[in-house]
Amino acid sequence: MEIVVTTFKGLEGVLANELIGLGAQDVVPGVRAVSCFGDKELLYRANYELRTALRVLVPFHQFIARDIDTLYKKIRSFNFSGFLSPDQTFAIDVVLHSDYFTHSQFVMHKIKDGIVDRMRATHNVRPSIDVENPDFRLNVRISGDQFTLSADSSGESLHKRGYRTKTVSAPMSETLAAGLVYLSGWDRESLFIDPMAGSGTIAIEAAMISANIPPQFCRKSFAFQKWRNFDSRLWNKVIQQAGQNIKSEIPPIFASDKSRIAVDNIKTNVEKLPLKTGFIVSQFDFFNVKQENATIIMNPPYDERMKVSDVYRFYEEIGNHLKHKCPGSNAWIFSSNMEAMKYIGLKPSKKCILFNGPLECRYHGYQLFSGTFKHNKEGE
pLDDT tens-place string over residues 343-367: 999 999 999 999 887 889 999 999 9
pLDDT at 216 over 50: yes
Q: What's the pLDDT score for residue 132?
A: 87
CA–CA gap between residue 338 and residue 360 (Å, rounded): 9
Q: Mean pLDDT, the chain, as a whole number?
A: 92
Q: What's the pLDDT score for residue 50?
A: 98
CA–CA gap between residue 230 and residue 240 (Å, rounded): 17
Q: How many CB atoms lie within 10 A of CB 345?
A: 20
CATH architecture of 2-152: 2-Layer Sandwich (3.30)
Average pLDDT over residues 223-250: 95
Average pLDDT over residues 40-62: 98
Average pLDDT over residues 93-118: 96
pLDDT tens-place string over residues 164-185: 988 777 789 999 999 999 999 9
Average pLDDT over residues 247-264: 93
Average pLDDT over residues 62-81: 96
Specify the domain boundaries for CATH 3.30.2130.30 within the chain.
Answer: 2-152
- Band (pLDDT 50/70/90 cuts) for residue 380 is very low
Whole-structure pTM value: 0.92
Average pLDDT over residues 1-19: 97
Q: What's the pLDDT score for residue 22?
A: 98
Biggest CA-to-CA distance, the chain = 78
Q: What's the pLDDT score for residue 290?
A: 85
pLDDT tens-place string over residues 205-215: 999 999 999 99
| DSSP track, 226-241 | GSTT--HHHHHHHHHH
Q: Give the whole-number percent of the chain exceeding pLDDT 70.
A: 95
Strand ordering across the sheet containing 2-6: 25-29, 33-37, 2-6, 55-64, 146-152, 136-143, 89-97, 128-129
Specify the domain boundaries for CATH 3.40.50.150 within the chain.
Answer: 174-211+247-367
Q: What's the pLDDT score for residue 302?
A: 65
Question: Shortest CA distance to 344 belongs to which of 380, 370, 290?
Answer: 380
For the chain, how many residues are written? 380
Q: For residue 30, what are the CA distances in angstroms to 4, 71, 287?
A: 10, 25, 40
- The CATH number that domain 174-211+247-367 falls under is 3.40.50.150
Q: What's the pLDDT score for residue 378?
A: 47
pLDDT at 202 over 80: yes
Average pLDDT over residues 92-107: 95
